[in-house]
Amino acid sequence: MGKLLSIGAAAHALGVSTGTLRRWEASGRLVPARTEGGQRRYDLAALKPGMTHRAPTARKTIAYARVSSHDQQDDLARQKQVLELYCVRQGWEFELIDDLGSGMNYQKKGLSRLLGAIIDGEVGRLVIVHMDRLLRFGAELVFAICQAREVEVVIINQGEDSTFEEELANDVLEIITVFSVRLYGSRSHKNRKLIDGVRAAVKDAQC
């Protein structure tokens, strides 16, 4: 038996994430040894030949679409159509991931799935209609991760996003709602009055 490594050291040596090693364990593909304290230990000498010398697989093209609310289903359908047509014209086989949630929410299922695939080295190209479809703030961090993992990022529309003002207003409302609930409580009269006032102001600004 060779030197036993922690999950973090084994993941680094294999060029995968710790989440990938846990998924391999859950599927029975890779079962690590355990210390008396229950911590995972990996025998890299026995592990590496079988994991890293297999035939390389082609990395995927992922097209990602997002809208903030159910009211924007038409825009989501439009994004998906634009992404599909663009990828087909380029001759790319692709997987489409779509999300429903605020551009300020980092916990969306589709975004988490996308980031996991990028970190695991499964993605070679990311295609989005507009930068704000990824995240309202923090898209640059995702792009930095893509650069580190050698993922090509294709932004179809470099101009202004037609839904920017509407979604930004919804994001502002979401922020005020969260802070007003913390400040006044979810059922207080002050909280409801403040949120109703902000909601009315948002609607007036959109008219």
Which of 6, 17, 27, 68 is labelled catalytic?
68
Q: What DSSP string runs through 86-105?
A: HHHHHT--EEEEEEES-TT-
Amino acid sitting at position 11: A
Q: And the tokens for 168? A: 């930004």
Phi, psi angle pair for 171, to nearest 5° = -65, -40
Query: In Å, what is the CA distance from 122 to each residue of 16, 32, 131, 154, 156?
Result: 10, 23, 21, 17, 22
Amino acid sitting at position 165: E
- Number of other residues whose CB lies within 10 A of the CB of residue 89: 8
* DSSP SS3 for 171: helix
Q: And the tokens for 27? A: 């599927």
Q: And the tokens for 18? A: 């710790």
Active site residue 17: no
Catalytic residues: 68
